[in-house]
């Protein structure tokens, strides 16, 4: 099925099941501990043994040799896999040859060996007995140093509209500031984990992964075997945030280890390897320049971002939101990439927008202060209903102003003092801040298979994954709505490479795209049922387990018979994304308290107002947004991978040193979804909220801290050492 024109009425618009705040259908399995996660597949992998990953102790150089004698003699050891005995490994689409280092070393904690033993403890103990002879090389680990040295930068990319330089120079009011965001780590509950098993030349993997088809193809390419010989399953994922989009070392090494010992092997990455071995959000240095007339109209918008990555990597696109969020005739956005020898920088929740808005939305507040305008009014004045670079291309839906106005009303924005450091409650300075958010709507080709059994149970199969977002439930809601069945008559099976290829989970495209694939399959099933029943399609309705058309009503069970009826279809997209700019929008509001004596910060209130198309399940969508808001607090106040610039590794590579918010850090969070159905997005008229909920939160917190204290912090995270000594005297009333 192809979606290439705005949808009008369709069965989803009934909203009998879709759009309702239903409990997650997989909730009982998760809360009872019965959900089968990758590392726990004891039932399907008998006599499994354990692999322990050894990470490189240097960030750059070569391995002269590995003395394995003591490790091989250790109790329970079955095999040691290294680059020397792993066989030839292909590169894969995402440079997967880097997943097993040797003899060259590309970054700290790059996997260089897997020790396989009868027990986890034996494998871990034996891993400490490997003696690795390294030849260390000088590496580049300092982004600021690379920025200062153009010779160390490559791949500068600019996008321009109009004449930014002239417009900025002529602007009556100007802002030119630099902001920094640090390296940040994924800190999901479930680490990267895999259980692998071979039967002859066929490989079965149970793994924690967001994109089943991508990973199957990359693993096949890396191992040099047909992808049809790989059966990959990922039915439950305990968080991913982008780090599980791709094939990682746990899956590859589990496969290599299982092949070496001819038994199932379990591998999980140690927490330090999640920071230093998998992907992370790279640090940025961002320069924002704004020029405006005295009435607040932007005449020049400039945003440049510097970031680093391994050779072959991409820059963090921290300027993409600036190309669309505000109007302005003259614009410059650009990314500058430095080749660093730090671990790979890649997708982390709202890649690009999350750090980009942390800079841009402080800059907007700073400009509002210079103009003596309310920050919300400045944003409203510079709203646009068209792509600023392509005025002929309008937004499919853009309700940013409504997000801002609704949030201001609900949060009590009118009570905020425009002057900072004016509100004191005992030892606490109180401040309020806000920021706008944008995240583009992306759609991906997605397929599904549906089968209606003679018992009346509808089974949906697709390789879509559920990373804690509620995919099982919204897919069940879609199928139930389409077929006129109660949701308890729908069985959803996900995360299996033998199922039709879906969009997968990532980029905020998962919910909208995967349910559209189910919509396509159910549409085909409806047509097949109507044809078999001899009923006209025009005016047909499916409800209460029956189909009614042409004055007749027939039960679905009667139509499909004992053998049932199954079909498969795929949702593909035309050029609507080229004809219209599709985006989601938000407004975030935060109240903070800052201790006048210690600079301790406490978030007291949070509100997010989101315009993100049809909300398929308000309960699970709210869960996504409050989780993203929590992540935004972490990014603003706590999270920072500290780089050892001598040796090239992240020092605080565990959850003791890498701080993330806990329950006591987060107050009650309010979420408001605007009533929106974007007919241009998909037949579901949805978009997505999982990343939008993070976009702008960090800046809202930082702006609130400024409003409380009068101290403007432009280098994240906003920690107390950046406030102490700069706040108003403690005697201030």
Q: How far is CA 102 from the centre of its chain?
A: 31
Distance CA 453, CA 440 (A): 39
* 152 tagged catalytic: no
- The residues, any chain, with a CB within 8 Å of residue 267's CB and separated by 6 or more, are 50, 51, 52, 53, 114, 193, 194, 195, 196, 250, 251, 253, 254, 257
Catalytic residue among 316, 397, 591, 691: 691
Long-range contacts of 289-292 (CB under 8 A, 24+ apart): 289/168, 289/174, 289/175, 289/176, 289/332, 290/174, 290/175, 290/363, 290/364, 290/367, 291/167, 291/168, 291/170, 291/171, 291/173, 291/174, 291/175, 291/330, 292/171, 292/172, 292/173, 292/174, 292/367, 292/371
The answer to whether 172 touches 297, Cβ cutoff 8 Å, is no
DSSP code string of 557-612:
HHHHTTT-EEEEEEEEE-SHHHHSB-EEEEEEEEEEEEETTT--EEEEEEEEEEE-
- The residues, any chain, with a CB within 8 Å of residue 699's CB and separated by 6 or more, are 357, 358, 359, 360, 361, 362, 365, 433, 435, 636
Q: Which of 265, 269, 267 is nearest to 46 (CA)?
A: 265
Distance CA 226, CA 216 (A): 10
Sign for the pseudo-dihedral over CA of 721, 724, 726, 728? positive
Q: Which two tokens stand for residue 584?
A: 């989601």
> What are the residue numbers of the active site?
691
């Amino acid at each position: 099925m192809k979606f290439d024109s705005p949808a009008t009425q369709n069965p989803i618009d009934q909203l009998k099941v879709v759009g309702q705040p239903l409990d997650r259908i997989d909730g009982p399995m998760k809360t009872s501990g019965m959900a089968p996660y990758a590392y726990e597949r004891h039932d399907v992998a008998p006599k499994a043994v354990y692999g322990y990953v050894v990470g490189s102790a240097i960030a750059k150089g070569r391995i002269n040799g590995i003395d394995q004698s003591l490790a091989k003699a250790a109790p329970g050891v079955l095999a040691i896999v290294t680059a020397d005995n792993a066989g030839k490994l292909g590169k894969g689409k995402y440079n997967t040859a880097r997943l097993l280092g040797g003899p060259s070393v590309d970054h700290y904690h790059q996997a260089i060996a897997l020790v396989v033993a009868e027990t986890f403890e034996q494998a871990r103990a034996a891993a400490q007995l490997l003696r690795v002879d390294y030849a260390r090389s000088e590496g580049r680990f300092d982004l600021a140093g690379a920025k200062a040295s153009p010779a160390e930068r490559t791949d500068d990319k600019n996008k321009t509209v109009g004449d930014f330089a002239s417009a900025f120079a002529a602007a009556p009011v100007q802002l030119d500031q630099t902001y920094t965001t640090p390296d940040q780590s994924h800190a999901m509950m479930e680490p990267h984990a895999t259980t692998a098993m071979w039967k002859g030349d066929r490989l079965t993997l149970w793994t924690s992964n967001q994109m089943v088809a991508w990973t199957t193809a990359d693993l096949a390419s890396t191992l040099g075997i047909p992808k049809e010989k790989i059966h990959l399953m990922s039915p439950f994922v305990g968080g991913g945030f982008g780090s599980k989009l791709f094939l990682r070392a746990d899956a590859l090494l589990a496969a290599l280890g299982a092949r070496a010992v001819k038994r199932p092997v379990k591998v999980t990455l140690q927490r330090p390897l999640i920071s230093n071995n998998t992907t992370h959000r790279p640090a940025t240095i961002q320069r924002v320049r704004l020029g405006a007339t005295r009435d607040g109209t932007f005449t020049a918008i400039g945003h440049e971002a510097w970031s680093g990555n391994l050779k072959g990597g991409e820059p963090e696109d921290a300027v993409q939101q600036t190309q669309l969020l505000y109007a302005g005739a003259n614009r410059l956005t650009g990314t500058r990439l430095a080749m660093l020898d730090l671990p790979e920088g890649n997708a982390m929740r709202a890649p690009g927008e999350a750090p980009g808005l942390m800079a841009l939305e402080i800059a907007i507040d700073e400009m509002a202060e210079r103009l003596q305008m309310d920050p919300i009014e400045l944003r409203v004045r510079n709203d646009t209903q068209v792509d600023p670079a392509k005025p002929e291309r309008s937004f499919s839906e853009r309700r940013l102003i409504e997000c801002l106005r609704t949030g201001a009303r609900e949060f009590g924005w009118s009570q905020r003092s425009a002057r900072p450091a004016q509100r004191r409650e005992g030892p606490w300075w109180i401040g309020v801040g806000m920021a706008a958010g944008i995240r583009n709507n992306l759609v991906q080709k997605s397929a599904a298979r549906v089968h209606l059994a003679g018992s009346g149970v509808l089974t949906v199969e697709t390789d879509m994954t559920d990373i804690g977002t509620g995919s099982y439930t919204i897919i069940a809601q879609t199928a139930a709505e389409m077929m006129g069945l109660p949701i308890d008559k729908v069985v959803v099976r996900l995360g299996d490479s033998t199922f039709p290829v879906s969009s997968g989970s990532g980029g905020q495209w998962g919910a909208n795209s995967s349910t559209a694939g189910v919509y396509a399959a159910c549409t085909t099933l409806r047509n097949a049922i109507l044809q078999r029943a001899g009923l006209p399609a025009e005016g047909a309705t499916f409800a209460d387990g029956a189909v009614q058309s042409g004055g007749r009503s027939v039960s679905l069970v009667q139509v499909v018979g004992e053998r049932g009826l199954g079909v498969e279809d795929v949702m593909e997209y035309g050029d609507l994304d080229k004809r219209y700019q599709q985006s989601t929008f938000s407004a975030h509001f935060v109240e903070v308290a800052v201790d006048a004596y210690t600079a301790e910060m406490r978030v007291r209130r949070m509100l997010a107002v989101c315009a993100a198309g049809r909300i398929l399940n308000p309960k699970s969508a709210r869960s996504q947004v409050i989780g993203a808001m929590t992540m935004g607090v972490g990014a603003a106040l706590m999270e920072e991978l500290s780089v050892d610039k001598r040796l090239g590794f992240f020092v605080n590579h565990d959850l003791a040193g890498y701080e993330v918010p806990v329950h006591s850090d987060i107050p009650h969070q309010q979420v408001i979804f605007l009533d929106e159905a974007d007919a241009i997005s998909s037949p579901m008229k949805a978009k997505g909220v999982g990343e939008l909920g993070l976009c702008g939160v960090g800046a809202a917190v930082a702006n609130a801290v400024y409003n409380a204290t009068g101290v403007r912090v432009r280098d994240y995270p906003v920690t107390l050492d950046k406030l102490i000594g700069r706040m108003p005297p403690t005697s201030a009333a």
